[in-house]
Structure 1
Amino acid sequence: MKKEKCKTLSFRLDEGDFALLEAKCEDLKLTRSEYFRYMLHIPLAADGVEPPGRFIVLDTHTFSGLRKELVKWGYQYNQAVRSLNAIALYIRNGTVDEKWFAETLMKVEESLSKVDAGRAELEEAIHALDETTTMREP
């Protein structure tokens, strides 16, 4: 059931803000009304943040990508820990096969390298987000 829209808003913008609004609407393929309806749902305050706060809003696609990357980190980290636990077990039992030990340590290093590479990639993406967000004075 579609909500009936019965309220009208009217306000003035300077040329710069109007151009910014038009550009954002065009980029997102939204009408001005749709754009403002979406903007109403973005929080301007959060617990522990004094206004005016600075927020980065993540769309579901970006958030999903972050989640997938963190899951990959968890998988690689888990593989490294399992290998280290296997090494510890062999050492406790006094049955250390040097060749197996070296191969397993290489697997651990490979898994942790993948985690670090993913972390560096995510860090770079977060820095890029920070650099592209701007806050204009009203």
Structure 2
Amino acid sequence: MEKNVFIFGNGNLSFNDFLSHYEKPLTALFKEENTKFILCDFKGVDTLAMEVLKCVSPNVTLLHIGEKPRYMPDKYKTQVSQWKIIGGFESDQERDFEAVNLCTHFLAFDFNSDEKRKSGTQKSIEKCLEQGKIRINAL
């Protein structure tokens, strides 16, 4: 079965938190055949995941707002030149909605929501769950 994994999270996530919550599940996914990754181009989880995936997988779809991504890893001696880049989205919400539609699975953690504010990450997690996407948890 093919897995299309949307990896996302908060923009202010620290590197140590990224390692705590994303490293083990990502490492396990790298060992599975037929796994593709979906990323967006914001700071935090998005850029850290790009840096991890650039030398590991050609099977990445990167979604971005406007004409070009806000961040893009180096293509030299990496797999980035094989990534599928889709742009032209008008907003983070429109881009994230497309990522949710494309995925079968998701890997995400939200650190920023509370009783007063729901982060974009939390909204995307809820959309994934509403659409029956499978959550990948830390191992």
TM-score, length basis structure 2:
0.23
Quick one: higher RCO (CA 8 Å, sep 6+), 1 or 2? 2
Q: Which has the higher helix share?
A: 1
> Quick check: which has more Rg, 1 or 2?
1
Point out the structure with the larger strand share: 2
